[in-house]
Amino acid sequence: MNMEDLRKILNKEQLEGVLTTEGPVLILAGAGSGKTRVLTHRVAYLIAEKHVKPWNIMAITFTNKAAAEMRERVDRLVEEGAEGVWISTFHSACVRILRRFADRIGYKTSFSIYDTDDSKSLMKQIIKAKNLDPKKYKEKFFLSRISDFKNQLIDCDEAEKYLKGAEGRLLSGIYREYQARLKSSNAMDFDDLIMNAVLLLKTDKEVRDYYNDRLHYIMVDEYQDTNAAQFELIRLLTLQRKNLCVVGDDDQSIYKFRGADITNILSFEEHFPGAKVIKLEQNYRSYTTILNAANAVIGNNHGRKKKSLWSERGEGEKIRFRRFDSGYEEADFIADDIRKREKSLTADFKDFAVLYRTNAQSRTLEERLMMSGIPYRIVGGINFYQRREIKDILAYMTAIENPENDVAVRRILNVPKRGIGATTEGKIAEYALEHNLSFYNGMQQGVENGMFGRSGKKLSDFISFIDTLRGKLTTDGVTGLVKDIIEDTGYARELQLEDTDDSHARLENLDELVNKAALFEREKNEDEETKDIPEEEKLSLFLQEVSLMTSADTGDDEENHVTLMTLHAAKGLEFPNVYITGLEDGLFPSQISINSDDSDEEIEEERRLMYVGITRAMDTLTLTCASSRMVHGQTEYMPVSRFVKEIPDELLDGSVKKSHSSYSSTSSYSKNTDYEFKEFTPPKNSYGSVAYGGVTGYSANNAGKKRKPRAKKEDISKLYKKGSDIGKTDLDYGIGDRVNHTKFGEGTVVDIVDGGRDYEVTVDFDKVGRKKMFAGFAKLEKI
């Protein structure tokens, strides 16, 4: 490799990044600007042209896949010696260091590495040893907090100073016990690997000097994603030579929830005085219109290093913006649009990606794609109906409908945990087999005959609980039953107590299941053939519909399928045609970010996520949103995302200011109604994050509180008698009147629509924004 070759391959800024080898260097690599090419050619240049020994070079990245790809590229560029370059992830690098010197900090070099399951098992033992209620104190909660401490290099002593109050002292004690048990087992968890490597380098000058002498050049990829521990590790490895080159993009820093600290890249010049900053702004992926939109959006962030992407590909098509009456209509449009474009032979299914803010949003999209016969795959997630929490609730519903379904009953027997172990389950199965009974009937008969000893009471309670839920179906309907299961089982409560990113996502999925049930009931209640059938039959129809969705073929062709993924999962990828969905304030940006005490910082993080989404598109970009969504089974109005409004009108095909539903199809959701919208703010006691159909309704603040009794079916039936039509005279208020709602407080009536069996009343509430509800349920009182 010579200079002439490099000049042919690299642009001016890329070449500068390769040739600037001495001292600290920050390469600000915009999306699609060829950063991996710069890194690999830099390593090759050091070996081939500067004659640096391969073992004197270290390149660190975040994933094993990225490390393997980098090594493969370097191998292709360098004739010999590339295998000696230390290319690895942060964790792998630390394992290598500790395997050699762990005895310096009190471990044997043969230490074990605990994976997630090992850590959970250890934490369960600690919770039990401290006589803590496992229903209240979750291992995931403690492990999540301990991980946060370690990522910030906060040890047990520091945590003890930091944590106050009874709960703080408990967490501090758990942390100390957890670390003590790890060390007594000569084990480290994943976070210990970096924390202990930092401890070793900080406290042992001989080891620190050894690595500083050996590593002449260090390169770090995706530097914007580093946390405090990773920063300190890099700093300690570069104390002598200072030949550190970091590559990253502050505009793509989207992992704060994992501990990433954007100030590491923003303050690089302060941390490493004399640093050279090189900007890679030429984009090789997207058309100019797409890049201009990305630049316009991210330009609203204050905490960033200024740069502007540009391309030589040409202007390209305008960005399509479409707003729909509902999330279901939005999904209809996307499925129809993909099908039309694929049929016109302008694109294959694999050329399309649909991006969304949360995994819960995939449910409606999955259903619409299945109905349209479009193959798809979910990246970084699981199909909605295959998610554990969804399968658990559906198993409860199945057991209520058909208690002789052994698979369903056995799935929920100890979910959530109710002290019924595998031994008891085995005895029930054996008894049922001997007496030719279903598992449930065998359990019932065995309990009556006193066959299960001390477990008999727990089994009896379980049977009574299922019977109670079955009785509630008659009064509460399918949607009410879903809510009853989620709440009365303690399922939501358990997830609230975990209080992790994963548990929050699972709560969002449960809320989306409520929305699915509410939509199902609405459709069946409006259908002449099904509106008067018993609730038991509706439950059977619901489970049948879900079963068809669960077992539907999503495509045999492993290569040619539409990609569904969250915006976080899309980072680093590119697609010819991209749809970004759910672009509403309250969903994206999330209500959590909007309501946060650090709202400005949180909104900037979400804006970076929008920037990442936009820059995934190569050829076409479509932005979609809905004017209303299902929120915990109710319809809520949603304003257009502020991020869409930040895109100049001249770049859009579709006006933001005058947006309304522009999609017309045979869909039952298509109404083409124009509305005037005000901002929606969910109740403060909710998590605040909006799922594809709505806002998570399972509040940590409401956990354990007794719910108000639902209206009895006899009362509701008065409103919904066949052929009945409630006239306007039945309402003692009209448009413009002030009314009061028992939950939402005071507001102004802005619209009343005759919905046939009841009026749909829209009220602009003073505290929670605009809501649409049936008059019979709302029970509004005129002020």
pLDDT at 72: 87
In terms of domains, do 342 and 444 share one? no
Q: Has residue 177 been placed in a domain?
A: yes
Total structural domains within the chain: 5
Which position has the token pair 């522009």?
A: 662
First to last CA, the chain: 82
CA 106 vs. chain centroid, Å, equals: 39
Radius of gyration of the chain (CA): 29
In terms of domains, do 515 and 563 share one? no
Name the least confident of 55-69, 151-165, 620-634, 742-756.
742-756
Q: Tell me, yes or no, if 616 is annotated catalytic.
A: yes
In terms of domains, do 179 and 218 share one? no
| Of 222, 332, 351, 508, catalytic | 222
Q: Cβ atoms within 10 A of the Cβ of 745, count?
A: 12
Q: Give me the count of residues in the chain.
A: 783
Between these two residues, 655 and 121, which has the higher pLDDT value? 121
| Of 472, 616, 770, 771, catalytic | 616
pLDDT at 683: 34
CA distances from 720 to 550, 713, 717, 781 (A): 32, 10, 5, 21
State yes or no: pLDDT of 709 exceeds 60.
no
Share of the chain above pLDDT 90, in %: 54
| Of 20, 36, 125, 550, catalytic | 36
State yes or no: pLDDT of 655 exceeds 60.
yes
Q: Look up the CATH number of the domain holding residue 128.
A: 1.10.10.160
pLDDT at 576: 96
Q: Has residue 678 been placed in a domain?
A: no
In terms of domains, do 137 and 268 share one? no
pLDDT at 668: 34
The Cα 677–Cα 679 span in angstroms is 7
State yes or no: pLDDT of 407 exceeds 90.
no
| Of 61, 252, 581, 620, catalytic | 252
Q: Has residue 362 been placed in a domain?
A: yes
**By C-alpha distance, which of 268, 222, 213, 272 is closest to 247?**
222
In terms of domains, do 570 and 476 share one? no
CA distances from 185 to 180, 188, 267, 425 (A): 9, 9, 39, 33
Q: Which residues, in sequence order, are bridge partners of residue 581?
A: none
Last residue of a domain, one of 238, 260, 282: 282
State yes or no: pLDDT of 678 exceeds 80.
no
Reported as a single tens digit per residue, the pLDDT across 441-456 is 999 999 998 888 888 9
Q: Has residue 584 been placed in a domain?
A: yes
- Beta strand 562-566 with 617-626 is unpaired
- Beta strand 352-356 with 244-248 is unpaired
Q: Has residue 684 been placed in a domain?
A: no
pLDDT at 707: 31
In terms of domains, do 29 and 144 share one? no
Between these two residues, 171 and 636, which has the higher pLDDT value? 171
Q: Tell me, yes or no, if 36 is annotated catalytic.
A: yes
In terms of domains, do 567 and 534 share one? no
pLDDT at 681: 36
In terms of domains, do 235 and 335 share one? no
Last residue of a domain, one of 229, 253, 282: 282
Reported as a single tens digit per residue, the pLDDT across 331-374 is 999 999 999 999 887 789 999 999 999 988 999 999 999 889 89
Which tokens sit at 370?
């299945």
In terms of domains, do 117 and 252 share one? no
State yes or no: pLDDT of 748 exceeds 80.
yes
Return the SS3 of 564. Answer: strand
Q: Cβ atoms within 10 A of the Cβ of 18, count?
A: 25
Name the least confident of 15-19, 157-161, 227-231.
157-161
Reported as a single tens digit per residue, the pLDDT across 182-203 is 998 888 999 999 999 999 999 9
State yes or no: pLDDT of 635 exceeds 50.
yes
pLDDT at 519: 86
pLDDT at 716: 24
Reported as a single tens digit per residue, the pLDDT across 735-746 is 888 998 876 788
Q: Look up the CATH number of the domain holding residue 470.
A: 1.10.486.10
The Cα 480–Cα 490 span in angstroms is 15
Share of the chain above pLDDT 70, in %: 87
HEC readout, 351-419: HEEEEECCHHHHHHHHHHHHHCCCCEEECCCCCHHHCHHHHHHHHHHHHHHCCCCHHHHHHHCCCCCCC
Q: Has residue 691 been placed in a domain?
A: no
How do the residues of the chain divide into helix, strand and coil, expressed in percent and rounded to 5? 50, 15, 35
Around 537, how many Cα atoms within 13 Å sit in the side-chain half-sphere? 8
When pLDDT is averaged across residues 522-549 and rounded to a whole number, the result is 84
When pLDDT is averaged across residues 705-714 and rounded to a whole number, the result is 31
Average pLDDT, the chain: 85
Confidence of residue 554 (pLDDT cuts 50, 70, 90): low
Name the least confident of 144-158, 212-226, 759-773.
759-773
pTM over 0.75: no
The Cα 283–Cα 307 span in angstroms is 12
pLDDT at 721: 28
Q: Tell me, yes or no, if 252 is annotated catalytic.
A: yes
- Lay out the sheet containing 617-626: strands in order across: 376-378, 562-566, 352-356, 575-580, 617-626, 319-324, 652-653
Between these two residues, 383 and 29, which has the higher pLDDT value? 29
Q: Has residue 700 been placed in a domain?
A: no
pLDDT at 548: 64
Q: Tell me, yes or no, if 13 is annotated catalytic.
A: no
Which tokens sit at 114?
């605990």
Ordered DSSP codes for 495-560: HHHH-SHHHHHHHHHHHHHHHHHHHHHHHHHHSTTTTTS-HHHHHHHHHHHHHHHHH----S-SSS
Reported as a single tens digit per residue, the pLDDT across 80-100 is 767 889 999 999 999 999 999
Which residues fall within 8 angstroms of residue 558, CB to CB, at 6 or more apart?
A: none
Confidence of residue 717 (pLDDT cuts 50, 70, 90): very low
Which residues fall within 8 angstroms of residue 549, CB to CB, at 6 or more apart?
A: 366, 367, 370, 385
Q: Which residues, in sequence order, are bridge partners of residue 418?
A: none
In terms of domains, do 67 and 171 share one? no
Q: Which residues, in sequence order, are bridge partners of residue 773?
A: 761
State yes or no: pLDDT of 402 exceeds 60.
yes
**By C-alpha distance, which of 168, 239, 247, 175 is closest to 209?**
239
Answer whether the bond into residue 589 is a cis peptide, omega within 30°.
Answer: yes
In terms of domains, do 471 and 403 share one? yes
- Residue 330's domain spans which residues? 295-383+554-653
pLDDT at 653: 92
Q: Tell me, yes or no, if 467 is annotated catalytic.
A: no
In terms of domains, do 319 and 263 share one? no
| Of 191, 221, 251, 494, catalytic | 221
State yes or no: pLDDT of 289 exceeds 50.
yes
Q: Tell me, yes or no, if 742 is annotated catalytic.
A: no
Confidence of residue 722 (pLDDT cuts 50, 70, 90): very low
State yes or no: pLDDT of 67 exceeds 60.
yes
The Cα 12–Cα 632 span in angstroms is 54
Highest mean pLDDT among 163-167, 243-247, 657-661: 243-247
- Lay out the sheet containing 759-765: strands in order across: 628-631, 634-637, 769-774, 759-765, 745-754, 738-741, 781-782
Last residue of a domain, one of 490, 513, 539: 539
Ordered DSSP codes for 6-72: HHHHS-HHHHHHHH--SS-EEEEE-TTS-HHHHHHHHHHHHHHTS---GGGEEEEES-HHHHHHHHH
Q: Has residue 595 been placed in a domain?
A: yes
Return the SS3 of 313. Answer: coil
Annotate 482-497 with b (16+ C-beta within 10 A) or e (fewer).
bbbbbbbbbbbbbbbb
Reported as a single tens digit per residue, the pLDDT across 408-440 is 899 999 999 898 988 999 999 899 888 888 899
- Beta strand 634-637 with 217-220 is unpaired
Q: Look up the CATH number of the domain holding residue 628.
A: 3.40.50.300
pLDDT at 694: 36
Which residues fall within 8 angstroms of residue 650, CB to CB, at 6 or more apart?
A: none
